[in-house]
Structures are given as C-alpha cells and as structure tokens.
Amino acid sequence: MPLVFSVLWLLQLFLWPESVAGANSARGEEQLEALLATETQLIDGLRDYIDRLELQLEELRRETADIEEIHSQVDSVEEYMGNPLNVFGILKRFESVWPRLEQQANATQELGFAEGFSDRDLTLPSDEDYEESLNHLLHLQSVYELDSNSLSSGVVNGFKLGSSMSWGDCLEVARKSHFSVARFWLESALEKLPSAAENSTESQRERESGRVHILEAALNIEYRAGELNRALATAEELLLLLPMSQSIQKAKRKIEKALAKKELPKGNGQKSKPKKQKPKSTEQLLIEELCRGVTQQASSGSRYNYCQLDGSLPWLLLQPSRLEPMSSDPHIVLHHDVLTPKQSGELLELMDEQDAKGVSYQALKLAKLAQKKLARISAHLGPETGHLAAWTGRRHGHEHIPKLEDSSELQHAARVMLNAPGMGGAVVFPQLELAINVPRGSLLHWHTRFAAGSSSEWDYRSGQAICPVLLGVQLYFNCLSTN
C-alpha cells in the first residue's frame, strides 16, 4: 500500500503544473473578458462625457456670441449707458448669466475659470447696483407711463432702444413692482416663454418650468396686494401643473380662509386691508404730466421767436440774439444758439466728470478757461441780473428723481444746455404748467422774484423741476444771481 500511495503521489506531482496552468489560463481569459467589458463601458462613458462636454461648450459659445453681438453695437459707452434698458441688461447679466457661465466653465476645468471671478482684478456690480437699476427702470415707467409689453421688447414711445428682455427679466421686474404694474410684467413674461410650436425637449422643459415660476410669483404678488380672488384662481391653476405640491395646497387653504373672513361682518376677526402704495402729491402728478407732454418735442411755450440786437458789447452787435419768450410774468425766456456746436464741444472738454462717475445730478468741476468762455454768455442775461455767481456744471440721467427746486434765495437763474439728451430731461414749471426742452447750445433764463413794483419777494411760480432723462445723459451749466 505504501508503494501504491508513493506512485500516485509522484503521478500527481508530475501532472500538477499542467492542471494549475490550465486553471490559471481559464481565469486569465475570464479576467481579460471582464477587463474588455470594463473598457467598453469606460469608452461608452467617455463618449457620453465628451458629448455632454460638447453640448456644454456649444452653449458657452452661443452665450458668448450673444454677448459679443450686444457689445459690437456699442459705439459710445456714455450713449450706451444712457439707455436704462442697456443698464438693466448688463447688470442682469452679471446677476444671473455670468455666474451661471462661470459655474459651467468651472465644471469642465478646461477654460481657466477655476479661480473664479472674485479672485480676479475685475470691476463687478454689487447687488445694490442691480436693485437701483430695477428701481430706476420702474420709476421711468411710472413717470412716462411706459407700456410694459413695449418696454420688454426694447421699444419706448415707438423707438427701438434696446434688445428684448427674456421672460426671466420680466419676472424679476414684476417682483419689484407694485401690483398695478406687476401684473402687466407677469403677462409679458408669460408671452415670452417658448411657444408650444417649439417641440424640442429643452424648450418644453423651459416653458413648463417658466410657467410655474411666473405663476408662483403671481400668487405671492396677488396675495400681498389683497387680490384674494385672483390669488385663488392662480393657486388652482398651479395645482393643475403641480397637483402634489404641499406648499401650494397650503397656500390655497390660507387664501380660502382669508376669503371666508373677508365675507364675515365687520368686527368678527376681519383683518385690516393690506397697505396700499403711498399716493403721489398733486404737485408730483403735475410734474410727471408735464414731463410726458414734452418727451419728444424740441421746445414748448409761445413758439414766437424774435431777434434782438444789443449794442452794449461788440460781439452782441455783430450777432443778434434769437429769443423765444416762454412767460412774461414771471419772466422766462429761451435764448437760442448762444453756443455753436464747436463751442459746446470745447466746453465739454473743460468739464471734470471724475467726481460724478455713476452719480446722478452732481455738480461738476469747471476749469478756469471754461469760466472765462462762459463769461460772454452772461452778457445775454442783461445788466439787470446784477452780480452773477460762477458757472457750475451739472449732469444727470435716467437715475434722476424730479422734484421741485427751491430758488427762494436767488434773484435770477440761467441754464445753458451743452448736449440735448435723446429723450426726456425737460425743465418744468408746475405752477405755470409750462415745460421746456432746452435745445443744445441754448440758454434758458428766468427771474425768481416778483416783478418790480409789486415786491421783491420770491415768486413761488418760478419753482422748477428737471424731468428724468429717458435716453442719454444731460450736461448743462447753471448760473445763479443772489442780488
């Protein structure tokens, strides 16, 4: 028996390498097949990643091309930024578009955006800048009664001023508006959603998501405004889109409860009515009405021009003045063409606007040479003006809020227009119901005291305000007399 076991042991010893090699060979083929299958999955995954990356890069290229197209239309930075729609557009891009593009670029780690905007030496707007641009746009809409639908298309008073807003832009403006205006912006936002004719998955997704966002905003705005019936209808419409939403169901129950309390007799727990927007004063309404009346007119008043030849100074004798009386009591006269376009351009170069960058209606510094050149204009005002103070420069745009200026300390006031804005910026005298667009190179002169013979007290009718500039920037000189 031991011999038999020895023979079997030797036989197994000789055959063991071949059996082990066969087993290893089988396991190697299985492992190779598994590795090939893994590599196939990796290739498919990498192709899918490349496809998604190409789609992402294509979207970045498209967004960049759209922004480049907007920038290619900028001929003059000052003229471009004098358009409130352009100001809102660029701040909106920094508020939403650029952060999204940065996030997409960071995801690829391919375009060098990994350090982020905040780590670069870039000029970026603040949240306050964006809020101010929204408020300015809404203020202009209120003063000039601009149509939301036209404004969202970049059209103001029939003129194409800028590119169209997106539905998201309209929604953002609606959220900052009073209900009386917000509902029109919400309607514009709904109209700007992708149409049902666009069958792409992306358009359909945007249309559905956008409609939900707009209706949610409408629900919130209507409820805060006390428009409970409207809010209830909006909540029911939202539930058709999101039937399982707990928050909307809760809001609907809250609205129904508020409606039930509203129907109860007074004294049974009825809540007070929501606060309404503070009404404008009669004077403010009159100022805005006058501003709207001369938005695009060259001037208004008597429209009766006459020439006056003054021989008190040599240059006045050689060049008669063209006058346009606006009011005899108080005395308001428009002197046309006191500056040539060349002279206006020279004076603009002598104004220091560094202190007024981004600031509305702030005094600008004038060089001594500018004061010397303006001294000749003072001769047009006549000797009765007495001692005149130094000329001061002013600048304001669409950020300016019109208010009545108190000139009770003055004897005379004069304003010389250096550049006429594209739209708006008129001088209005509410008590006289008079509005005047001062042409470029012209001078507006008025008395601030009662006519001689009655008294030397301040004439309240001479109080005036400056309308906000709807398009462009207004630069002018003021000259005041205190005796």
| Residue ranges of domains in the chain | 31-72, 78-263, 282-481
pLDDT at 267: 43
pLDDT per residue over 59-97, tens digit each?
A: 778 888 887 877 777 777 777 777 888 888 888 788 777
Bridging pattern class, strands 427-429 and 423-424 = unpaired
Q: How far from 271 is each of 222, 233, 263, CA to CA, in Å?
A: 17, 21, 11
Contact (CB, 8 A) for 324 and 333: yes
Cα–Cα distance for residue pair 118/51, rounded to 1 Å:
30
Cα–Cα distance for residue pair 473/475, rounded to 1 Å:
7
Cα–Cα distance for residue pair 85/79, rounded to 1 Å:
12
pLDDT at 215: 93
CB neighbour list of residue 12: distance below 8 Å, 6 or more residues apart: none
Higher pLDDT pick, 187 / 123: 187
As its CATH architecture, domain 282-481 has Sandwich (2.60)
pLDDT at 12 over 70: no
| Torsions phi, psi for 290 (to 5 deg) | -65, -40
Amino acid at 212: V
Alpha carbon 212 to chain centroid, angstroms: 24
Amino acid at 442: S
Contact (CB, 8 A) for 299 and 337: no
pLDDT per residue over 396-425, tens digit each?
A: 777 777 777 766 667 778 888 887 777 888
Split at pLDDT 50, 70, 90, the class of 296 is low
> What is the number of H-type helices and E-type strands within the chain?
15, 16
pLDDT at 226 over 50: yes
pLDDT per residue over 425-465, tens digit each?
A: 889 999 999 999 888 888 888 888 876 544 578 888 888 88
Please name the fold of domain 78-263. 1.25.40
Secondary structure (3-state) at 383: helix
pLDDT at 263: 56
pLDDT at 234: 92
Least confident of 183-192, 352-361, 397-406: 352-361
List the one residue out of 427, 437, 384 whose CA is nearest residue 407. 427
Contact (CB, 8 A) for 264 and 216: no
- Averaged over 300-328, what is the pLDDT? 57
pLDDT at 11: 42
pLDDT per residue over 124-164, tens digit each?
A: 677 788 888 888 888 888 888 888 888 888 888 777 777 78
